Amino acid sequence: NYADTLTLMPSGYFDLLIAIQQDSLLQIPSITSVGPAGFKTRLIDLFGKTFEQEDNLFYDMMMASAYIQQINEGYILTPQELYQIDSSFKNKELRNYIYHQNELKKCSNRVGDEQVFFLPFDKKNETIVASIVDKYKDKVIIIDFWATWCGPCIQAFSEMDQVKKKYAAREDVVFVYLTDESSNRNGFQEYSKILGGEHFYVYKNQFATALEQF
């Protein structure tokens, strides 16, 4: 069952998967040295008689936990590895969780000033972008539409970071991050503290209208 797999990641099941990988008798290689294909091939060699299908939750969870363990130890995934992950995981929640943890690790050393606005507009007001623009009158405003569950959005933070560095000395440029109630609040708060800039957490109808307009 691929439903709600993320509940397993912070649990004892994650520790069990790491213990299996670290068992010297099994000789499971580092996933960052052989890639997801090589890692999965070794898993199939070991557990193929147990699992009839090569695409199953156990293999995905093993690969995800291997990547998370590497990230926890300070490893930053390369663009090539991110591409391999994108094409190797059947479960998009696990893939996006890896993206999320990797980006948090990358951002951990660049904590910035931030302003956070939770549901700042009346729910009936769907012209929120106009309200945001009015708030930063006479400034250049760069708005990033994103969500905590969106892997590609999180990956794009690194690209946006280059733009932010370019205009770091400009007081007339402001970076605004816009998401809605579909985003996990704790995840939203984590990123707002790391990224800096102005962060708006709005109602779903407001976000949907903003996407249609822009």
Q: Is the pTM of this model over 0.85?
A: no
**pLDDT for res 55:** 82
Please compute the mean of the pLDDT values over residues 181-196 and round it to a whole number. Answer: 85
Judge if 30 and 100 occupy the same domain: yes
9 and 101 both lie in a single domain:
yes
82, 107, 132 - which closes a domain: 107
183 in the same domain as 165: yes
Q: 148 and 192 in one domain?
A: yes
Proportion of the chain above pLDDT 70, given as a percent: 91
Q: Residue range 181-192: average pLDDT? A: 86
Residues 80 and 9 in one domain: yes
pLDDT bracket for residue 99 (50, 70, 90): confident
For 146, the domain range is: 114-213
Q: In what order do the strands lie in the sheet with 114-118?
A: 114-118, 197-202, 173-180, 140-145
Average pLDDT over residues 11-27: 88
**Same domain, yes or no: 50 and 142:** no
Task: Find the mean pLDDT for residues 136-148.
Answer: 91
pLDDT at 7 over 80: no
Measured from the Cβ of residue 184, the count of other Cβ atoms closer than 10 Å reads 13
E strands, 58-208, where? 114-118, 140-145, 173-180, 197-202
CATH of the domain at 129: 3.40.30.10
- Of the two residues 40 and 156, the one the predictor is more confident about is 40
Tens digit of pLDDT for each residue in 144-158? 999 998 888 888 888
**What's the total number of domains in the chain?**
2
Answer yes or no: do 82 and 122 share one domain: no
Q: Are residues 72 and 139 in the same domain?
A: no
How far apart (Å, rounded) are the C-alpha atoms in residues 6 and 40? 20
Q: Which amino acid appears at position 38 of this protein? A: G
Instruction: Kindly tell me if the per-residue pLDDT of 37 is higher than 50.
Output: yes
pLDDT at 83 over 50: yes
For residue 3, with 0-12 CB atoms within 10 Å meaning exposed, 13-18 middle and 19 or more buried, which class applies? exposed
C-alpha atoms less than 13 angstroms from C-alpha of 165 in its C-beta half-sphere: 7
138 with 173, same domain? yes
Same domain flag for 42 and 118: no
Does the pLDDT at position 45 exceed 70?
yes
Residue 12: which residues within 8 A CB-CB, separation 6 or more? none
Nearest to 106 by CA among 144, 76, 130: 76
- If pLDDT is split at 50, 70 and 90, which confidence band does 57 have? confident
Q: Which two tokens stand for residue 117?
A: 């606005």
Inter-residue contact 170 to 88 (CB < 8 Å): no
